Structure 1
Amino acid sequence: MKRIFLIYSLLSLSCLFAVGPLRAQHMLQSGAIVKNMDIHRLRDSVVVCMQLDLSEMEVKSNRSVVLIPSLEADGRQAELPPVEVMGRRRQLYYERNGQQRDAVAPWLTIRHADRDGVQEVDYRTSLLYEAWMDRARLTMKEDLCGCGEVRPGNQTPLQQADIAFHPQLAYIAPEVEVEKRRALSGEAHLDFVVNRTDINPDYRRNPAELARIHASIDTILHDRDFRITRITLRGYASPEGSYRSNARLAEGRTKALKKYVQSRYGFADTLFATASVPENWEGLRQYVAGSSLADRAGLLALIDSDRDPDAKERALRSSYPEAYATLLAECYPGLRRTDYRIDYTVRSFHVDEAKAVFRTRPQNLSLDEMFAVAQTYEPGSDDFKQVFDVAVRMYPDSEVANLNAACALLEQGLTEQAQPYLEKAGDSPQAANARGVSLLLQGQYDEALPLLEQALQGGIKQAEENRKILKNEE
């Protein structure tokens, strides 16, 4: 075998290869063997490694062979630094005449130490990542005459790249809600004849106010999956008049509404809980604090004073007559109200039922039931993503719902849309991993690393896969 001189342009003479089964190898027309190929992404770079076994190459003394690796996809191409193997005379000619090949990096000459030994070169180079490279093909062109010409057919496919970053997200399965407790609540501003406690359904605003209560109760009664467990009524009177009289009115009008609901629906007496507030000073204070009344500061000081209720009311009337008249007309009617709350439970659903309920009445599902529905769909599918989108709208304050919604968006690369949910996703290791992925997708690699390390320490194995793009781990 002729002595061979190797001139090549590399970023490094060494390359990290995974320990494992021998990878595919390719023999080129020149006799060179390419093996242990590896293409991976490291932050914003694509790293290409391979081993070139040149032992079986035959290069005429006055000739050279140029091996030109390249990445190609969708009509795009990026040529990598070439490797030139020179015969002895050609090498000496270049050395004596001080000539140098054109190259994008310094050229290096290596002499074969052993004429009959194995000559292998670890080839490693990197180039700036572009999206088209995700599924690019690594090929090797051969200039067999060293004359700058690659003839048709002198190109060998080596390996298909798969370097797209596929975020690895960790979802959280919500805790099972053993008993699904829900509630509907509202306010009824019923009108009563002066100093009376009985309800006249046709008096003034009462038809509309009672209809609001009917709608709330009917919504629950007409759903076969619901069961009412309690109806709570709390009545309020306004501060004008004596405290004793107002206490009687607030209590009596609350009981009147209870009696009205019982007679309409036939509910048992034990289903109700009632309470009353004789004078709604808290509501009055809120109204004054948010008003533009000229005497607002004085009014608030009087409302917050330690005087007994009747003394306060007389002082308001006498000290601020204009403001008091405004309050009587615009504020006091709204203070006379009855708050109602209807507590109920929702039955549990097995997963097939839950899928049907999700399409029509998603509010009837618990968070864990929605999660079970999501598991029946292909991860990343439209149905899968829709479940988490609906779940976070039904449970906007749930850290688990916010995390899972963020994960579903990050799997699509939608970092901006995921951000509001990440802010409410809590401090779990799964949330740290999701935030790290978001930063990775935005190219903020140094900020992403500590979050992924935190997630990894918390036992999130997905973080280890995400971290590889930062640390070149096999």
Structure 2
Amino acid sequence: MKWNLLFMTMALAASSPAFSSEPPKEGITLSGLSLTVEGDSLRVRFRAHIGRQATEGQNYKLTLRPVLSGGGHELALRNIEVYGRRVELLEARSGRAEVAGLPTHDLRQPAAGSQRAHEGETADYSVSVPLERWMETAGLRIERERSGCCRTERLGTVEAAPALPSLPEPSAAGVKSRATELAAAAGAASTGDSLARSFGFVEPLSALEARMNTASAAKGLFDPDMELNMGYGTAPSQQAEIDRYIVEGEKGALTVHFRQGKHLLERHFRGNNATLVNLVSSIRMLQESKTSRVVRVVIVGSASPEGTLAFNDRLAWNRAVALKDFLLRNTAFPADSMTLFNGSEDWRGLRKLVAASDLYEREEILRIIDNVPVKKGRELELMKLSGGRPYLYMLEHMFPELRNAAFIKVYYENLPDPAAEALSRGAALVSQGLYKEALEVLSSASAGAARDLLEGSARLFSGDEAGAAPLLERAAACGEPEARKLLDQLHAASAPREVGTVELPGRR
């Protein structure tokens, strides 16, 4: 009887897989464990090598539950369920009448969405979840659970991949500084404004309009009904207007020189070449510009006072016409947008030269110029002064400076450029950290590396890393260093984390 009882006890112990206090090995190894950012997703991969007795009993099921965690966040991934042999047989018989009425949990049906695995096999595990910022440094733990027909036992948790320290957020400081530069550059001077800073003879149209609108007792110099042929005598009222116009705008005006008594334009006479090159180049640049356009060219011809007034009057006009013809041959600027005036005899210029000289008779010369009308013998009075010595000096040293097209100005106006304005406004918004507002504006900005940097940065700091990356890649490829810095920071967060082999400990 004692032997029979002992035999029954041994048989029961062998057939009943009781939960031992000893920790037998489960026989599961995870290899190739990695956490990788792929675009806007995080992928978790590993291979589970399952031993032949991983469930530690044929009537049991072992559940492995991977969980991402970090920064106070958690996300459970798809389970792996490993079945003992007898559980699988019971499941296979589930359609038979004698077991059809058993509860589902007794049949060990797999939980919804779980990955099924078998003892003695290798299971490839791969799960991709929508990426959230906290996942870039998250760790992975494996929660384990062993269940049978009567009870469920929670096993220990394995930290398969430890959480990393939080990565620093991409810095916006460099981008904001660059955005400030781009805002200034996008809103920078137009072609006309740039030329006006370099050349005094280029002026905005507003400067011309101001002179046109200046009140005067005489008929306006730019009156559309004014007489056009001014080569045969200039009305005193018009001459006064011309003199006033020159005085108001002579600063920076170009001067092209002619030989005495001639109106033939010689390119290589007295530095004319550089003057003409600058004039033609500026007009061409304005004509080709997308930000400005040339509106009008004003030419005032003049002559030195020696000789008769009638001859000098025609000579001054013909010099203006010569310069107009030169511009028509060398630019595509229309003739009807050139305005010519006859400066006649340039007494105003002569007075200016005398006043700046150290001539002994300077005050007497100025008195004659100011008080003796031209038609009442002004030149004759100068010729008589001091035996003609001052006149001969002026004839040799001053009159050559007055034989010219004495006043040449190019007037322009700026053109609206909505795309450039949008880029400037968008850059200003990025520099202020107003990223959502910047994205709305930048949609109509000029395409290019600047826009890619600004839009990519705005998307990044608005939380759209997936949308930011291709824009920053393009900007970096075009030489924007701030785009490369941001990409490096993003790549540091998305670099694959290879963990290697993880041994799951036994049941405790």
- TM-score, normalised to structure 2, is 0.37
> Which has more radius of gyration?
2
- TM-score, normalised to structure 1, is 0.39
